[in-house]
Amino acid sequence: GDSVTQMEGPVTLSEEAFLTINCTYTATGYPSLFWYVQYPGEGLQLLLKATKADDKGSNKGFEATYRKETTSFHLEKGSVQVSDSAVYFCALSSTNNNDMRFGAGTRLTVKP
Amino acid sequence: EAQVTQNPRYLITVTGKKLTVTCSQNMNHEYMSWYRQDPGLGLRQIYYSMNVEVTDKGDVPEGYKVSRKEKRNFPLILESPSPNQTSLYFCASSLKGNLNYGYTFGSGTRLTVV
């Protein structure tokens, strides 16, 4: 079945460092791809999404490009801040569109 | 404010004592779902509902029940909780069953069964 594999954490960076969190997927058809962020003690929030190949989703300085040829949707940010410390989840909506598959999550800690 | 509201936020209960976690959304969303989040396992779907009176099992439905009598509410029922149901639970909703819109999540319910 459809699945998502994302980079193991935790990831610790200094403020203003470049961030990449890798995400690859396995799916039949053409799923939509998502990144969600979970701040401490809160629910998941949609960060960005892309619904077709070569689309780039972006929000709050984060970007991810839907790469069908490599089945990837890596999350990037050029300069992280302490406030970006959170758990990040990659997800896809299955082609039957009745389910969303999540990766295991990657915890990011940004130090001043 | 558009939101998904879960209650309670925290709950400690004993094995076998029936409980209900409520979920309500004010966005007129058709699709609602329950997930549990466990360390190292990400989110796993328990049940989902495509619309009123339409529910179906997700990946881990054993030990849970749901109902969808009204569009806005989707309660999760544990008839006889066991310690392996200790987890963080999230309710989520989406405009349509086409999940290309993405989910709006509630703030979570941390359940401990002793």
Of B4, B99, B108, the CB nearest to A93: B99
Among B100, B92, B32, B30, residue whose Cα is nearest residue A93: B100
User: pLDDT at position A97, please?
Assistant: 59
A44, A29 contact by CB (below 8 A): no
Mutate to test the interface with A, among B93, B103, B104, B109 (most CBs of A within 10 A): B103
Of B98, B102, B105, the CB nearest to A43: B105
User: pLDDT at position B106, please?
Assistant: 95
User: Using one digit for the tens of pLDDT, what is the confidence trace for A41-96?
Assistant: 889 999 999 999 999 999 999 999 999 999 999 999 999 999 999 999 999 997 66
User: Using one digit for the tens of pLDDT, what is the confidence trace for B58-109?
Assistant: 999 999 999 999 999 999 999 999 999 999 999 999 998 777 788 999 999 9
Cβ pairs A/B, distance under 8 A: 56
Residue B9 banded pLDDT, cuts 50, 70, 90: very high
Strand arrangement of the beta sheet that strand B65-66 belongs to: B4-7, B19-25, B76-78, B65-66
